[in-house]
Amino acid sequence: MKKILLFILPSLLFLSCKEEDNTVEEYANWQSVNETAFKALYSKAVSNTTDNIDTIRCYSLINKPKTSPEDFIVVERFSAIQEIINRPDTKPGSPLFTDSVSVSYRGNLRPSASFINGYVFDQSFTSDIYNPKTAKPVKFSVASLVPGFTTALQNMQVGDHWLVHIPHQLGYGSTQSSSSSIPAYSMLTFEIILEKYWR
């Protein structure tokens, strides 16, 4: 009898350890988390009475099944949110859709199970805060970026330092970005510094 109990006890201990070894889903309820966060930011932006946070009206081209020429591309209107960190006294003027830009930037997601400050999926500066002396700006065509980033750039002036919150409709939408491991329905937050632009 004692031998049987000694044999069963280690098995029970093994099973209980296995049950406690549950893995946490990295992006649990991700669509809801992101949409709720964006709605809260949007409410704050539209009720704000100062100039440091605002909405930017954007357009996203959505492909539909082609039943008629008019239905092939539908334009839907969304908003991104920009928070001005710094706007120096510069000459007015913003990049056009067809321009090229030199920008310093960092892109991150909402906080998740492993990334309490949000996963940084891309960046051109690696220090915790932007430092113009060590930053390495990157050149882009304005038209080559996700719609929210493109629209933000077209509203910025040289020297502007913005934090831009982009809803998934103006980012990668309902599909995962294979190039940078961004899950579907992700709100993207970009810290963007426009260094210069040219036509």
Rounded Cα–Cα distance for residues 13 and 86 (Å): 58
Rounded Cα–Cα distance for residues 99 and 198 (Å): 6
The pair phi, psi for residue 161, each rounded to 5°, is: -125, 105
Q: What is the pLDDT of residues 54-102, one digit of tens each?
A: 887 765 544 444 444 443 344 456 788 888 888 887 777 899 999 999 9
Question: Is 122 in contact with 146 (CB distance < 8 Å)?
Answer: no
The label of the residue with tokens 């008629």 reads 68
Q: What is the pLDDT of residues 116-164, one digit of tens each?
A: 999 999 999 988 889 988 899 999 999 999 989 998 999 999 999 999 9
Q: What percent of the chain has pLDDT over 70?
A: 76
Give residue 30's pLDDT: 96
